[in-house]
Amino acid sequence: MDLFAIVFYLFAILIVSTAAIMVFSKNIVYSAFALMFTLAGLAVFYALLFAGFVAVTQLLVYVGGILVLILFGVMLTTRGYFERVRIRTVYMLPSALFAGIIAVLLIAVFVTTDWTLAPLSEGDVTLAALGELLLTDFMLPFQVAGVLLLLAIIGAVLMAARKRGPLEKKGTVPDADKII
C-alpha cells in the first residue's frame, strides 16, 4: 500500500469516528469540536484530490468561519454551553431502514461506475492564477466581502451582548407595533 492510500484510510477513519462523536455526543461543545475535525479531514481529502483551492476554502470558510460562528452562538446564548442536550429516539426503525437503503444505493453506484482519471491540461485554472485574479481584477469585491463579514460579526456580538429590557426578562415581549 502506498502513502496516498495510507493517508486516505487514516483520514477516512478520522472523519467517520469524529462524525459519530458529533452526532452521538450529549455535550454541544464536544459536538462542535468533533465537527471541526470532520471538516478538517474533508479538507485533507480535497488536498489528496489535488483540489488545493477547495481544500483551503474548506479550512477557511467551514473550519475557520462557520465553526467559530457556531461556537460563538453557543457560548453567547443565555442557557450556558455546558448544558447537556436531551436526546429522544424517534422513529428509529424507519430512519435505520432509510439510511440502509441510501447506503446500498451509494455502494451500488460506487461499484458499477467506471472511474477514469483525467490528467490536468495546461489550460486548467491553477491556484496561482486564481490568487492572482483575486488580488488584481477582483480586489474590490474581495475586500468589500471581507468588510461586510466583519460588520456582521460585530453586529452579532453587539446584539448578543446588549442588556435585556424589563419586558424581555419576563419572557413576554409584545409585538413591535404595540411598543411604538
pLDDT tens string 67-84: 877 777 777 765 554 555
Among 1.10.10.10, 1.20.1300.10, 3.40.50.700, 1.20.120.1200, what is the CATH number of 1-86?
1.20.120.1200
Answer with the residue of higher pLDDT: 12 or 95.
12
The percent of residues above 70 in pLDDT, for the chain, comes to 77
Q: Are 76 and 43 in contact (CB under 8 A)?
A: no
CA distances 48 to 45, 55, 147, 159, Å, are 5, 9, 32, 41
Residue 135's contacts (CB-CB under 8 Å, 6 or more residues apart) are 142
Q: pLDDT band at 65, cuts 50/70/90?
A: confident
Answer with the residue of higher pLDDT: 59 or 52.
59
180/158 Cα distance (integer angstroms)? 23
Q: Which long-range contacts link 31-34 to residues 24+ away (Cβ below 8 Å)?
A: 32/67, 32/70, 32/71, 32/74
Task: Parse the chain into domains and list their residue ranges.
Answer: 1-86, 126-180
Residue 75's contacts (CB-CB under 8 Å, 6 or more residues apart) are 81
